[in-house]
Structure 1
């Protein structure tokens, strides 16, 4: 059987984007876990990665709201907010996966690894922060935050001003040896939550958290490379990748070679904020070693996609 890294999209954690309560997320996590355990039941080694956009934004916004009421209430640094979201989401997933495994008589353990991901302090992303996080502010409030805290603030779709942070590429994963040990011992690992906590290596073993958001698809690709996975499965809201998306001549793709994918990227077929990073992550993974495949599909079709009867398979040739 295969060693599979599954990258969960937002819909696998929050079925209703308007309901961001912990209760709603736990319910969705339990439904998501049925699909994950389907693959475990077939004998695959499964490593779970996930996003954290709404969750970390909610954590940041709550601290900002508290600080606006009480000036003595500190705003939590962004790396710590990322760590909180990893633990919060991981708790729901590991509880849910364990429950489904026990129900099916599978005697494996599942654990969340709070994961630090090394980034380059000279990554171009730091020069042009683009990822919005946290609350909306007025222009005057945004100017004050820039002056007092050094935040980069940008207007967000005429809805107000928000803090934006960098989105650097992952270089290495600090906890990779621990993750590999757990995987090889037969356990289920939840890792690189939200793309991982971005850290820079200051030398002499010292790591420093930085305010940034690593794309979870690139982080999923990185851990898949490091643990020598056979398959990277990126779960999203659609069953298949499409070209000419939303147009009368839309065409869904069941299979795509690396060469074809690169041609479609040059044509601008994939939206930068949604499908493009998934395709790019898949290409990095597939090109790194002969015989690897990546699949992009929906949560509901994951099991079928691994058997190549659903989803979009991306391969070398």
Structure 2
């Protein structure tokens, strides 16, 4: 298989790329990573793959139809996995337009390039071709504490500019399958965490701020509930859907772990108290600071991934306890990775305090 991955230098994309290339017996002949290297795209995430003859990096935008067409044709691509997206809610509130440009217009142009390429493939390769679009549970809106979890049939009700842009991209993917017959798949995931997570997001921000003696900011009362999914479990689910998912279908991917944000922060503090205690003997929990809530902050997300479990036999390997410990260990061992991003690529003028 020759695979085109977009946004492969980002958090989820880089974990997917690494998993696919490092897995024993991987069927990949070539993996082409197209990434524009915006603020969240970090080539250091995949620097150790530079010598792998199966790996090709191309810097560019998914909206560049000429570039995408050339990559598809030159590398005889068999499947596209689209991770490329602007994904930070706070940034979308501050400036929605880049989210529309990347997530809506960019996805449209990527779909069109894929469709034109797909129509010219020989029959056997045309039948095997897939376009998998990676989306989010935020397209479904928000849940009350007693509401059932989101299913694939839950009506879309996005509440932030980010969520609205992803909802629009999901609809475009559906339309290209229904109108043109392009063999698409869509996955909607819950909140990811794990290695290579960009430092503005809740879990890495809390880890790094704690170690630096800074406040641990929590939006409002901190009782916003999210379903936390370890990123490597997510990557494995995407690969499974790409291989065995039914064309035209959507699959929800969840971590089966609903937790309020404040409990996530406290769990991180407990791990750091044990693994890297403060010199004054106090708990890192003393650094927790409640800040003004985000505008329109969704109260609860929860994913029902029964369809994925029953049809494809998927289940997360990591519990939250094991996944968060692995994540804290990773950041403790790679403080230089985060410091390089903070110093060179990102100014924390706006804290990513809510997931």
TM-score computed with the length of structure 1 as normaliser: 0.32
Q: Which has the higher strand share?
A: 1
TM-score computed with the length of structure 2 as normaliser: 0.30
Q: Which has the higher contact order (CA 8 A, sep 6+)?
A: 1
